[in-house]
Chains A and B, each alone.
Chain A
Amino acid sequence: MPFTILKKRELVPTIHQVDVAAPRVAEKAMPGQFVILRIDECGERIPLTIADFDAADGTVTLIFQEIGKTTRQLASLGAGDSIADLAGPLGCASSIERFGTVVCVGGGVGIAPIFPIARGLMEAGNKVISIIGARSADILFWEERMEEASSELYVTTDDGTKGHHGFVTDIVQKVIESGEQVDRVIAIGPPVMMRAVAGVTKPFGVKTVVSLNPIMVDGTGMCGACRVLVGGVTKFACVDGPEFDAHEVDFTLLMSRLAMYLPEEKEALDYEAAAEPAV
């Protein structure tokens, strides 16, 4: 049974939001979990973190950046179109407890998955200090949503076009050094960003959690494509994660494994380009 796209929009250039009708997934979804989707018979299975879910409406919101063949194809779909397969909710839910003060960091497209976590933590009675960052103001999204889901919100841009001119880590450092008793940091974004956040919080001994996004196939623990090294032990991110202790994660391995199919990704895009009629 295919899954219908109810809404689709380009939030900012190259970053898209789709709301998919998936009542069973929406009913069970928890912050921090993801889905695996396959667009059509020829498609690959890709994981996308659940950015929002509405059990009453039976919808799941996914946010993704156009990178490879599959995300570009997904971006080309519109409301009324459908995708062949969507399995989830997968992975362990983010632990939402009353920790005290939690810093939520979302970088780039990672702002999307940090949103339901921040909201959940607020609802659980935490003081939530959120920091969202992007390369530039024109690709920053969900600022308002994050504002609502946080006690305090900081915005950073690499080029200074909005908020703090610099990186999310600058603010993480500032908040911790300000004397604020930070009980937990959770960071989602590009691996370099997550590694940098881990580097900042480690000397302070602040418990830091990151959500890892390795390449996946089944998402149920059946293949091991998603292997990550945490504290020297191999874990399957799809079932043991996706969240792990940031101070234990081998980010170098994560990044090199993420690069595994770069030549093939290029080949797929070239193939696609060659197949399209010239305009």
Chain B
Amino acid sequence: MKMKTESKPEKRPEMAKQSPSERRSNFEEVALGYNSYEAVAEAKRCLNCKKPPCIEGCPVGVDIPRFIRQIAEEDFDSAALTLKSTNSLPAICGRVCPQETQCEAVCVLGKGGKGDPIAIGGLERFVADYELESGVTAPDLPAPTGRSVAVVGAGPAGLTAAAELAKMGHAVTVFESLHAAGGVLVYGIPEFRLPKSIVAAEVDFIRRLGVDMRMNAVIGKIGTVDELLSRYDAVFLGTGAGLPSFLGIDGENLNGVYSANEFLTRVNLMKAYLFPEFDTPVKKGRRTIVVGGGNVAMDAARCALRLGAGEVTIVYRRGEDELPARAEEVLNAKEEGIIFRLLTNPIRILGDENNWVTGMECINMELCEPDESGRCRPVPVPDTEHTIPADVVVIAIGTSPNPLVSMTTPDLETGRYGTIVADETGATSKPGVFAGGDIVTGSATVISAMGAGKVAAKAIDEYVRGAVRL
């Protein structure tokens, strides 16, 4: 039942959201998802292009027009199967992928500014949620190959590698240092953007593929990569970029100053927003400053607001156009009332005699002319020092790879910032050891980590099938 292009609406249905005034005081999901009526209508806008650019825009190559056609045909079960055959974590990706720079950016319908690109992310989420609600069926697995793989880290990279390898018939064991699987998905990204029940359900699906998940297992401490290699045919390292950076300015060890990782881990993984029902506390703050302009900073600021801070300020040293966060998240933050102090740089954090934060001294910045590399460096404007009062400060200026694994694996080549060096198949300098995700690239995205896990799974499959067992 093909419709004519011209008759199609140009706009996508707007996804329902909690209103800003309501959501700024709860941790429930902000975006509410499409209902089936909206999803089918949106799916029907798809042109089902012959050479669909959207697939190429997707880092894991989901067959987008196919699953969208299945939605249009109201065959949601098949749509789910299509999605799951290439993407093990669709309910997560539908929510947190930056589709506006990936598949949706290249969608034919969005070209030339005539209309909206298909809401691919929204549709992906719709199908994945439909499947979770109606009960997920684990696919039939091939006969066991007799090969075994150890996966270190249960973030998107590790989980994807594990799922793919299990689907190939290998025995997979995941070692995760925290008590829950998901990596950044459980400790970093807040509940209101990605409900933890969704992550748990997707992780459960991977368990049902036969993957053995061992929590509380810190590799580098409970065992080394070499020990894993003596028990498994190959090892995949997906340990992420979890080491928080600090500014290196005075006052960073004052009480009330957090790394974004600590603040978000307390709030999300440990559920400090439900304190004292949950045991982990977090300083709620009356005035919170978040330093940084990325997604992490937006998440921290929006968490601080929901914890009850009356005033939450983002301090970022460059301008609006340079904010690395997704436009949607910046908009959400603004709608919720978060104050943006752009072109502002912290000089030092101020405290009282009991070591508690009282505020932050900042200086205004301006962007100079771009240099040869095309980048504008922010430079301080003399005599613009000023103080912003605060009782909680969150430093969200980035992370680097955790050295626990590389430190205990001397023959693993590492890069400049402690990343693990891997080729395009994920192979590292150490035979039998593969790596992917933030540990290789530095902080990136959920989907790129998943893509790396997937590519590495293929290479690992070849490797273990070819490997001579000792």
Q: Give me the interface of A with B, judged by CB distance under 8 Å.
A: 1, 24-25, 28, 38, 42-45, 69-70, 84-90, 217-218, 220-225, 227, 229, 234, 239, 252-253, 256-257, 259-261, 264-265, 267-268, 271-272
Contact = CB atoms under 8 A, between A and B. Distances in A.
Interface in B262-295: 262, 265-266, 270-271, 275-281, 283
B50 interface: no
B279 A222 contact: no
A223 B261 contact: yes
Given A45-B280, A234-B246, A256 B265 contact: no
Contacts of A227: 252-253
Query: In the complex, which of the residues B177, B244, B278 has the most CB atoms of chain A within 10 Å of its own CB atom?
Result: B177
B387 interface: no
Nearest to A39: B279
Contacts of B86: none
A253 B356 CA distance: 11
B253 A268 contact: no
Contacts of B169: none
17 contacts: A24-B217, A28-B221, A44-B281, A70-B279, A89-B222, A90-B218, A217-B270, A220-B218, A220-B242, A222-B242, A222-B261, A225-B262, A227-B252, A257-B253, A260-B283, A265-B281, A268-B281
Given A45-B270, A45-B280, A218 B265 contact: yes
A69 B279 contact: yes
Interface in B230-273: 242-244, 246, 252-253, 255-256, 258-259, 261-262, 265-266, 270-271
A66 to B, nearest CB: 15
Contacts of A28: 221-223
Task: Tell which of B179, B187, B244 has the most Cβ of chain A within 10 Å.
Answer: B179
B404 A217 contact: no
Contacts of B218: 87-88, 90, 220
Contacts of B178: 87, 218
A84 B179 contact: yes
B216 interface: yes
Contacts of B246: 224, 234
A264 B275 contact: yes
Most chain B beta-carbon neighbours within 10 Å: one of A223, A234, A261: A223
Contact of B355 (A1, A223, A239, A253): A253
Nearest to A24: B222
Contacts, number: 116
Interface of B: 177-179, 187, 214-218, 221-223, 242-244, 246, 252-253, 255-256, 258-259, 261-262, 265-266, 270-271, 275-281, 283, 354-355, 402-404
A268 B276 contact: yes
Given A88-B221, A221-B402, A229 B253 contact: yes
Contacts of A70: 279
A88 B221 CA distance: 7
A151 to B, nearest CB: 32
Nearest to A38: B179
A268 B221 CA distance: 32
Contacts of B255: 256-257, 259-260
Contacts of B403: 221
Nearest to A239: B404
Contacts of B223: 24, 28
B222 A88 contact: yes
Interface majority SS (helix, strand, loop, mixed), chain A: mixed
Given A220-B404, A221-B242, A260-B256, 12 more contacts: A45-B270, A70-B279, A86-B216, A87-B177, A90-B221, A220-B218, A222-B402, A225-B258, A225-B262, A253-B253, A260-B255, A267-B276
A224 B275 CA distance: 21
Contact of A261 (B215, B265, B281): B281
A124 B198 CA distance: 52
Contact of B262 (A90, A224, A264, A272): A224
A220 B246 CA distance: 17
Nearest to A265: B281
A221 B278 contact: no
Contact of B252 (A43, A89, A218, A234): A234
Nearest to A256: B355
B4 to A, nearest CB: 54
A222 B244 contact: yes
B275 A268 contact: yes
Contacts of A69: 279
Contacts of A222: 187, 242-244, 261, 265, 402
**Residue in A69, A87, A222 with the greatest tally of chain B CB atoms within 10 Å:** A222
B179 A87 contact: yes
Contacts of B177: 87, 218, 220
Nearest to B252: A234
A83 B145 CA distance: 36
A88 B219 CA distance: 10
B259 A224 contact: yes
Given A43-B279, A267-B276, A271-B276, A223 B259 contact: yes
Given A85-B179, A89-B222, A223 B262 contact: yes
Contacts of A234: 246, 252-253
Most chain B CB within 10 A, of A69, A224, A259, is at A224
Contacts of A257: 253, 255, 355
Contacts of B404: 220-221, 239
A224 B222 contact: no
A91 to B, nearest CB: 9
A217 B262 contact: yes
A89 B221 contact: yes
B222 to A, nearest CB: 6
B221 A217 contact: no
Contacts of B355: 252-253, 256-257
Nearest to A226: B262
Nearest to B407: A239
Contacts of A89: 221-222
Those 8 A-B pairs whose CB atoms lie nearest each other, nearest first:
A264-B281, A223-B262, A256-B355, A271-B276, A87-B216, A44-B279, A85-B179, A44-B280
A96 B344 CA distance: 49
A42 B277 contact: yes
A28 B403 CA distance: 19
Contacts of A45: 179, 270, 280
A268 B279 contact: yes
A225 B265 CA distance: 11
Given A85-B216, A87-B177, A224 B261 contact: yes
A84 B279 CA distance: 14
B135 to A, nearest CB: 24
A45 B272 CA distance: 12
Contacts of B261: 222-224
A217 B217 CA distance: 15
Residue from B177, B242, B270, B276 having most chain A Cβ neighbours under 10 A: B276
